[in-house]
């Protein structure tokens, strides 16, 4: 037996709750921006992924028009900071609907550090930052996809093993349904099987 859910009859919010409960786990882009007036902004976005390899482009989605989106539109820059387990409560606090003139770094007590090539600051205590320049936006109904070209990346040396980021050191949080968040669970490794080897298996 399967249970059917019809987006046409369920209504926006109920279907949104269903979608966010089944598209899981979602990585969290902790997005820093700066407003046209120079106010630093920081907010988590779990509608986040890699969009293109060459050129390197990542995307996050603003559901509705929020400060992060307005700032990217105004300045053309943003930083995606990895959301580490150690900063669980601070990350959640930056999702508070602070007024635009109040910067989350200051309000929540998060230490910023200057980025190398873009104006928005990075989160000093986050192990990874992707500095991005706006590529384009795509408006879809009530949401806007923000695509950014990654122009610089930094990783904390403590999170690297042989020069490569190590998941057990990054300890990223993910977003699940309701108010649930995830941590990295059991790790499994498997190599992909080339078709040439498929029949020999
Ligand atoms: C873990 C987490 C993930 C979130 N993901 C999104 C998202 O993908 N898109 C979005 O519009 N809001 C998302 N939110 C809500 C925003 O962070 C929240 O509305 C925030 O106040 C927006 O800040 P801003 O107005 O400074 O941009 C998320 C909140 C949390 C706690």
**d(C-alpha 183, C-alpha 40), whole Å:** 28
Residue 165 domain-assigned? yes
Tell me, yes or no, whether 1 lies in a domain: no
Distance (Å, whole) CA 92 – CA 18: 21
186 domain-assigned: yes
H or E segment to which residue 81 belongs: strand 77-82
Render pLDDT for 135-171 as a digit per residue (tens, 0 to 9). 999 999 999 999 999 999 999 999 999 999 999 999 9
Tell me which residues of the chain have a pLDDT lower than 70: none
Ligand 1 atom closest to 173 (CA)? 1
pLDDT of residue 199: 85
Q: Of all protein residues, whose CA lies closest to atom 14 belonging to ligand 1?
A: 45
In a domain, 6, yes or no: no
Establish if 57 belongs to a structural domain: yes
Nearest CA to ligand 1 atom 2: 44
Q: What is the reported pTM?
A: 0.98
Tell me how far the alpha carbon of residue 94 lies from the centroid of ligand 1, in angstroms: 8
Please state the atom number of ligand 1 nearest to the C-alpha of residue 63: 11
Contact 174, 20 (CB under 8 A): no
How far is 160 from 5, CA to CA, in rounded Å? 44
What is the distance of C-alpha 64 from the center of its chain? 16
Question: CATH no. for residue 160?
Answer: 2.30.110.10
Task: Return the sign of the alpha-carbon dihedral for residues 107, 108, 110, 116.
Answer: negative
Residue 59 structural domain: 12-197
Question: Is residue 118 in some structural domain?
Answer: yes
Give the residue, out of 42, 49, 95, 104, with the most ligand 1 atoms within 8 A of its beta carbon, to mutate for a pocket test.
Answer: 95
pLDDT value of residue 200 = 81
The answer to whether residue 5 sits within a structural domain is no
pLDDT at residue 201, rounded to an integer: 72
**Residue among 15, 92, 101 at smallest CA distance from 46:** 92
Number of domains in the chain: 1
Cis upstream peptide for 151 (omega within 30°): no
Q: Does residue 7 sit within a domain?
A: no
**Which residues are near ligand 1 (CB < 6 Å)?**
28, 41, 43-47, 61-63, 66-68, 92, 95, 97, 175
């Amino acid at each position: 037996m399967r249970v059917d859910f019809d987006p046409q009859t369920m209504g926006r919010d109920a279907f949104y709750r269903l979608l966010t409960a089944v598209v899981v786990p979602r990585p969290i882009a902790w997005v820093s921006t700066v407003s046209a007036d120079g106010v630093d902004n920081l907010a988590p976005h779990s509608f986040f992924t890699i969009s293109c390899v060459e050129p390197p482009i990542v995307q996050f989605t603003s559901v509705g028009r929020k400060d992060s989106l307005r700032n990217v539109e105004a300045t053309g820059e943003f930083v995606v900071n990895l959301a580490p387990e150690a900063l669980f409560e601070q990350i959640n606090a930056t999702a508070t609907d602070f007024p635009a003139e109040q910067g989350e770094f200051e309000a929540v007590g998060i230490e910023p550090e200057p980025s190398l090539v873009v104006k928005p600051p990075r989160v000093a205590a986050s192990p990874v930052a992707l500095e991005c320049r706006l590529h384009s936006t795509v408006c879809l109904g009530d949401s806007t996809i923000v695509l950014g070209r990654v122009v610089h990346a930094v990783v904390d040396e403590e999170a690297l093993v042989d020069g490569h980021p190590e998941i057990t050191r990054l300890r990223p949080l993910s977003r699940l349904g309701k108010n649930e968040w995830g941590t990295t669970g059991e790790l499994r490794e498997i190599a992909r099987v080339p078709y040439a080897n498929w029949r020999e298996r």
